[in-house]
A and B are shown apart, each in its own frame.
Chain A
Amino acid sequence: MYGSGLRPLSIATAVATAAAAVLIFFYAPIEADQGFSQKIFYVHVPMAIVALLGFVAAGLMAIKHLRSRDRSWDLRSYVAIHLSIILGVGVLVTGSIWAKASWGHWWRWEEPVLVSFLIVFLLYCVYFPLRFSIEDPDRQARYSSVFAITAGAFVPLNFVAVRLAEQVLHPRVFSQTGGDLPGEMFLTLMVSLLAMALLFVTLWKLELSAKHAAQQLKRLRARLELQSERRAEGRGPVPAGAGADGGAVATVPAHPTSA
């Protein structure tokens, strides 16, 4: 279900990543001001853009969940936030390394871009304790979706606020004047962005299919155990979709988010 198209997607990701690596180290020129350390830009910026888009996409998936009551959309939203958080860790660490190389400081609290990204990251870190503090699967999915929508709406607002804020040190990549990137650098950035986006979608599908397989397995095991219990009691076979109490198999979470 979720694993369809994973093989071509993985190949496309590998090709795009290899192309990006070649462009970064053999094609893009050395930046006059920052020198070789500017190469961090090609991993840091795509990671930040894809992480933020992942948060927004998770919010859209959460809307879909609340509209359709289909919990598979909640699972999609959860996995997108999970992956964006992982990329967020990468953004903060590579950003700090780049800051140290360029500005001589690991972190600048007066820089709005850095602080705003940290706020977004910490906001989404709250998602996991919130999600796993709710035991009822339906309520868990509903509350998580409300959080994902609210936080997802905050991301573009935050982006606009940062654009309006006074620039301290952090460069603006996509400004109204086009960001002043030379052609070779812009092409390299675009290929890196494509590779990062493909990597995100590949890993998202991979985690989704692993979670779906775990879910199916739990259902099968529960059904098999029920069947053997009924057989031991001398009762008939389990009707399709029936649980231990004769109702639907509801004791098994529809998706093992903690798996």
Chain B
Amino acid sequence: MPDPVSGAGAYVAAAYIVFVTLIVVYVAIIGTKVARIERELESLARLVEEPEP
């Protein structure tokens, strides 16, 4: 088996890093959106629970 660190191994590592990075960035963006929804939901809940003047 060839040394996976040198030669072709660098290309293989680069290809898999690209794939993992794409997925991680995508999940992070969705996670940020979900966190924003949660924050908005909390503010909405506070608005509903506020006593009427």
Residue ranges of A at the interface with B (Cβ–Cβ < 8 Å):
30, 34-37, 39-40, 43-44, 47, 86-87, 89-90, 93-94, 97-98, 100-101, 199, 203, 206-207, 210, 213-214, 217, 220-221, 224, 231, 259
- Interface residue count for B (Cβ, 8 Å)? 27
Interface residues of B (CB under 8 A from A): 1-2, 4, 7-9, 11-12, 14-16, 18-19, 22-23, 26-27, 30, 33-34, 37, 40-41, 44, 47-48, 52
Question: Which applies to chain B's interface (DSSP): helix, strand, loop or mixed?
Answer: helix
Can you list 12 residue pairs at the A/B interface with Cβ under 8 Å?
A: A30-B1, A36-B7, A36-B9, A43-B19, A90-B18, A90-B19, A94-B18, A101-B8, A101-B12, A220-B44, A224-B47, A231-B52
**Cβ B18 vs Cβ A93 within 8 A:** yes
- Select which of B2, B23, B40 is within 8 A of A217 by beta carbon: B40
A86-B22 in contact (CB<8A):
yes
With A86-B26, A101-B11, A224-B48 known as contacts, the answer to whether A47 contacts B19 (CB < 8 A) is yes
Chain A residues, CB < 8 A from B8: 34-37, 101
Across-interface contacts of A94 in B (CB, < 8 A): 15, 18-19
